[in-house]
Structure 1
Amino acid sequence: MKVIVAGFSKTGTKTLAAALRELDYEVYDFVDHFWYHEKEWKKIFSKGGSIDDFKQMYQDIDVVTDGPSYLFWEEIHKAFPEAKIILTVRDEDSWCESALELYRRIRTHPGFIISCFSPIGWKMSRFLQMTIMAMHGVLESYPFTFNSHLNEMVLRKSYRQHTQYCLQNAPKEKLLVYNVETGWEPLCNFLGKDIPDKSFPQSDFMHDPNLSHPFIDRLQRELLIVVYLLVVIIAFGVMSVSCNCF
């Protein structure tokens, strides 16, 4: 483990992950945490974890970012004390507006709702629910959250507490407080990397043109099976009705 990204989602973590990949780091973000370590995270959420758990989970990974890893940045750093810590930050008003919009889109986005009709998509929705509960202390019953309990007061409180705790407790010599709008220079200087001769990347949770992952492949296969079964059931139903008419 070389870098622990401790910043909340919607503070530029997806953009930073893309930048770190450009710098040849292997990065695990939310989908990777779910895909590779769902069972371990369920144990951590329900029963607690240990330093050895984090060592086993991430010993061969360069960077962890996004939920739920940033909630446990301190424990992960104890497992990998030589790792550097990046606290991504953003104007609080802008962050809160963006976070509320993200959660609204998750509740209403057709792709996310449809994905929950597959076994792996449903498991992902439960994983997201556990992460939000740990992050904000609010239970969101995805994908059927018609009356969300995530509000501005809850979000601001959790954002401030998390940011301040990290600022006060992360080793100062290993910490970079970073805004992705500042681009390559402070990031590369902190990591001891040459500045790439290319534009700083931009990425977004819901609109990533390069989204490719084993989870997506599995989800697509399962949804095709679900659609096929629905077609068969509907066809069988139509045939049964037709036969009864004669």
Structure 2
Amino acid sequence: MCSALEILGIPCWHSIYFFSDRFGDIEMWQEGLDRKFFDAPGPKYGREEFDQLLHDFGAVSSDTPAISFADDLIEAYPEAKVVLVEREIESWYKSWMNAVIKNTYESPFVTFVYTVDRWFTRPLGRVHKSSFKGWLGIDSAEDARRVSREKYREHYALVRRLTPAERLLEFKLTDGWGPLCKFLGKPVPDVPFPHVNEKKWLDEKVQLGLRRGMKRMAWKVLVWGLVPLAVAVLVYQGL
């Protein structure tokens, strides 16, 4: 869906941007989650805060952590249109468990890097885990197996309840360009509607994050090791 919106000329926010120059936004997203779900001081996020996070985008993907603020975003942008992408629940559940939950809670390597790399992987992982815990009440793979289908239905019911009918498009990816372009007032592109292998794409995103985290950690360890060594050498030479 994000790819389709980009083809239509609508820049779409997605957490993949955390791997670029938007990494600094993680701190603000985390603050919003802490205020909304974990009793941190401060008012819940509204238009002012979302404008700061999303000012150069024309759309927001249903990706964490943004999906945790679906109700707040619908309220903050009363002029915005909402495209609700429905999937067959068992197909979604399989993808969710095999791609998202497995990488978040059941991968030993991801867990190791998340534990030791406090500069990149930890804040990146924490903002996603906080979303799952606050929004869905999920704190483990077992929690996900127990409540995911129910939470899926609750989320769709929430979006339908909060969005006025004239602002809402019920959409399936198999519907293609026609209804989406009509709803958004865009001409139909002369390219096929995009399709992405979700598990492969997410696995590649996770591996990218882990590689960057390990590189940053290695650099910091190198610097922290070399500086004391250099000081020790200088002191020794001075003696």
Gaps of 5+ in 1: 1-15, 141-147, 234-246
Encode CA deviations 1:97-133: one digit per residue, 9 max, x unaligned: 2212121244455774565343201221111210111
1:154 and 1:123, CA in 2 relative to 1: closer, same or farther beyond 3 A? same
| Distance of 2:194 and 2:166 partners within structure 1 | 27
Tell me if the contact between 1:87 and 1:178 (Cα under 8 Å) persists in the aligned partners.
Answer: yes
Mean Cα deviation higher: 101-110 or 59-68: 101-110
Residue 222 in structure 1 maps to residue 220 in structure 2 = no
| Distance of 2:197 and 2:24 partners within structure 1 | 22
- Cα offset for 1:152? 3.5
Residue 136 in structure 1 maps to residue 161 in structure 2 = no
- The size of the alignment, in residue pairs, is 208
1:208 and 1:111, CA in 2 relative to 1: closer, same or farther beyond 3 A? farther
1:206 and 1:222, CA in 2 relative to 1: closer, same or farther beyond 3 A? farther
1:204 and 1:120, CA in 2 relative to 1: closer, same or farther beyond 3 A? farther
1:161 counterpart letter in structure 2: E
TM-score (norm 1): 0.71
Gaps of 5+ in 2: 37-43, 227-239
Q: Which residue of 1 aligns with 2:233?
A: none
TM-score (norm 2): 0.73
2:130 counterpart letter in structure 1: M
Residue 50 in structure 1 maps to residue 51 in structure 2 = no
Correspondent of 2:184 among 178, 191, 198? 191
| Distance of 1:109 and 1:207 partners within structure 2 | 15
Q: Which residue of 1 aligns with 2:12?
A: 27
1:35 counterpart letter in structure 2: F
| Distance of 1:56 and 1:228 partners within structure 2 | 35
Q: Within 5 A, what are the aligned runs for 1:1-246?
A: 16-32=1-17, 35-48=23-36, 49-51=44-46, 52-65=48-61, 66-102=63-99, 103-109=101-107, 112-113=110-111, 115-116=113-114, 117-118=116-117, 119-140=119-140, 148-208=141-201, 218-219=212-213, 221-222=215-216, 225=219
Tell me if the contact between 1:115 and 1:223 (Cα under 8 Å) persists in the aligned partners.
Answer: no
Q: Secondary structure in 1 aligned to 2:120?
A: helix
1:197 and 1:31, CA in 2 relative to 1: closer, same or farther beyond 3 A? same
Q: How large is the RMSD of aligned CA atoms in angstroms?
A: 3.2
| Distance of 2:53 and 2:103 partners within structure 1 | 30
1:184 counterpart letter in structure 2: W
Tell me if the contact between 1:35 and 1:215 (Cα under 8 Å) persists in the aligned partners.
Answer: no
